[in-house]
Amino acid sequence: MTDPVLGFTYDASVLPPADPPASSVERVLWRYQRALPEFVWDAAQLEGNPFTYPDVLTLMDGVTVGGHKLSDEAQVRGLIDSSRLLVSLVKSGAFALDKTTSHTIHAVLARDEAFDAGLFRGEGQETTTPSVYLGEHGRHIPPLTEAGAANLTTLYAAGLEAIAATPTVTGQARLYFLFAALHQFYFDGNKRTGRAMMNGHLLSHGLDALSIPAAARHTFNATMVGFYRTKDATAMLGFLATTAQRAAEDPRPAHDR
């Protein structure tokens, strides 16, 4: 199907016909927190960050790690702090799939990387329009940055309405991630923020969060390039479905398998 609001097409058959059985929010949060070092490390690896898994564990314990650039450490700290913030929002019932929550998470996650962190492009001081580099395939150009971000705010609201019409929480979460990644509402950290929002939506409905394994980095990046080029989300939705299925079948941390 084609969704002109979301900005991409997809084969609806790759979306789950029903959600898996839900657990309590407390139970899925416990599982998420237990796996938090892996979630952080996986996300850092997708960004090309050189921090090792032991490095992440050390930083999460409040100990600095030598031999790394300050920018790499800041990125990992943003992932750690925003993940802990996500837990707090879900636990308190304050999480919502909305602009306010997205801004709150982005302000922490990308505080040391993005212009105007915690604001849509155009809501702050910066007025340039960024692009996503696709290697030999050129660049993906998102909607223009306009002063006040009225265009992005309107697009975001319409996208949320279209996503809400999807019958499953799992489908809503995955479509949200791709919607956020495509339109680049922020100057940086869009995929990371989109995945955090995806996981917050899952967790708040008693469903397990989803991490993209570091070992799948190449496949993830290549499939995302295809998505940006064609505006067809079928392959990416299939990738997310396969990743979730593998995690359900073997819940051990990827580095222990």
Chain centroid, CA 216 distance in Å: 15
Query: How far is it, in rounded angstroms, from Cα 30 to Cα 13?
Result: 31
Question: What's 215-249 look like in SS3?
Answer: HHHHHHHHHHHHHHHHCECHHHHHHHHHHHHHHHH
Q: Whole-model pTM?
A: 0.95
pLDDT by residue (tens digit) across 187-198?
999 999 999 999
Q: At how many degrees (to 10) do helices 70-92 and 25-34 cross? A: 160
- How far the first Cα of the chain sits from its last, in Å, is 37
pLDDT by residue (tens digit) across 210-252?
999 999 999 999 999 999 999 999 999 999 999 999 998 875 5
Q: CB under 8 Å to 93, separation ≥6 — which residues?
A: 204
Neighbour count for residue 18 (Cβ, 10 Å): 9
Q: Write down all domains in the chain, each with its CATH number in brackets.
A: 23-218 (1.10.3290.10)
